[in-house]
Amino acid sequence: MTAAEELRSLVEAWGAPARSGGVFAKKSKKQAARREAARRLAQLSDAGSGQALLDALAHASAEFADDRDVRRAYAKALANAGRLGEAIAEFEERLQQHPDDCEDLADVAQLYERAGRNDQAVERLRRAVDLRVAAQDLDGAVGAARRLIVLEPQSLENAAALVSILRAKDPALLAEGVEHLADLYRERGKLGQESAACSELLTLQPDRADIRDRLASIYTRILEVDPDDQDAWIGLAAIDEPLADQLRVLLLREETASASVPANPPAPMPRGIEQHAAYASRKAQELMDAGDMLGASLCLERTVRVDADPRNHLRLACCYAALHREQDAARQGLRALATAQAGSDPFVADEALAWLSNLLPAALEPLSDAVILNHRPGSADILYEQLLALWDAAAKAAQQ
């Protein structure tokens, strides 16, 4: 008997299994044989189509609802017939009982994608990726992660997940994922992360002249706004030492030329310093978002020397608090409050006051009174000294 003939016979047998005198019932009354026949029907179902096949699979699936292969064959047959809603419902019913079935998750995600419900597809695929990684099934994880990138090509989370999986699986495939991640960082203007990704890519593919040029361009842009970034100097010298030497000369000439120009009444902040501060502030935020509070604090320490924005003092206070440097955190919080009050920035002043009161509740009342009495302070430095004295007194009283 050919496979096609066997399939026709099974479809006939399962066409109406509820009838006690049906064809199948005459052939076998043993449950094990019926289950085996249902599984064989499921195995051959990919080669068939039509309502008769769907009816047979529906009956087999109803009788053996606990059989994975039979249920999956019925769901796939529904999908092939264009009945996506019913197919999705069949898969979801199975997933309620077996939430860790990666194949069901991947298949139902594909159906959601066909139905235009990408949000549901993404959620199922992410579950599949996590489960396959946990099971050390990196081949399956890579496939699901690639599909996630197709659905959400601009997602940093998906790109980073794929790179993480590929790094553990196969360096030969890793380069593609790292390059995609670098492109996403470039689109978001994250120079630090883009340079790190390009550096890894160049290690994987050392003959890529385009990546070498791209990395040199990134380091050059960083150094143009932050000439003190030693990591950028080291990176640039490693890939193009002559360019690094030329850039040092150019930046030195610019610094010398600007120093020789007679000073006019100074602007609040020279453009070069403003660019430096802006870059350091952006880099600090990137590091904070990544959880690197130590790196962020180093950037912000440089920023607050040249930029009186109270928000930077407050961000630095948050970094210090995360690093358990409470005394330094308090001083930066007080500096933020004094600077905001002196600059007539009530919103930041309120934010700083609330942050300080969380750090030391006993200081809220004296600090609030001082801010009210000094609604127009002579200078931020004078107000800061007053606030610091009140803070120390409140801290001492709280310890007693």
- Inside any domain, residue 116: no
Q: Is residue 54 part of a domain?
A: no
Q: 312 with 369, same domain?
A: yes
294 occurs within a structural domain: yes
Among the listed residues 73, 61, 66, 49, the one whose alpha carbon sits nearest the alpha carbon of residue 14: 61
Mark which of 255, 280, 295 sits at the end of a domain.
255
293 falls within a domain: yes
Q: What is the pLDDT of residues 330-385, one digit of tens each?
A: 999 999 998 888 877 788 888 898 999 898 999 888 888 887 777 665 678 888 88
Q: Which residue has the higher pLDDT, 302 or 309?
A: 309
Residues 248 and 336 in one domain: no
Rounded distance between C-alpha atoms, residue 26 and residue 82, angstroms: 34
Q: Are residues 206 and 283 in the same domain?
A: no
Q: What percent of the chain has pLDDT above 90?
A: 7
User: Is residue 298 domain-shared with residue 352, that is, in the same domain?
Assistant: yes
Residues 276 and 361 in one domain: yes
Residue 283 lies in a domain: yes
* Same domain? 251 vs 217: yes
Domain match, 249 and 336 both: no
Shared-domain flag, residues 204 and 235: yes
pLDDT surpassing 60 at residue 302: yes
Which of 203, 229, 255 marks a domain boundary?
255
Across 143-167, average pLDDT: 80
Same-domain pairing of 377 and 302: yes
Checking if the pLDDT of 21 tops 60, the result is no
pLDDT in tens, 207-237: 888 888 888 888 888 887 778 888 888 888 8
Two tokens, residue 371:
């801010």
Residue-wise pLDDT tens digits, 244-293? 777 776 666 555 555 544 444 444 444 444 555 566 677 778 878 888 78
Which phi and psi angles does 153 have, rounded to 5°? Answer: -65, -20
Q: Say how far apart CA 25 and CA 66 lie, in whole Å.
A: 21
Where in the sequence is the domain holding 236, given as residue range(s)?
Answer: 192-255
Domain count, the chain: 2
- Give the CA angle between residues 296, 297, 301 to the nearest 5°: 120
Tokens (6 digits) for 78:
């529904």
Same domain, 214 and 328: no
Same domain (yes/no): 227, 314: no
Is residue 225, in this structure, part of any structural domain at all? Answer: yes
CATH of residue 341's domain is 1.25.40
Whether residue 48 contacts residue 76, with contact meaning beta carbons closer than 8 Å, is answered with no
Do 305 and 353 belong to one domain? yes
In a domain, 351, yes or no: yes
- Indicate whether 164 belongs to any domain: no
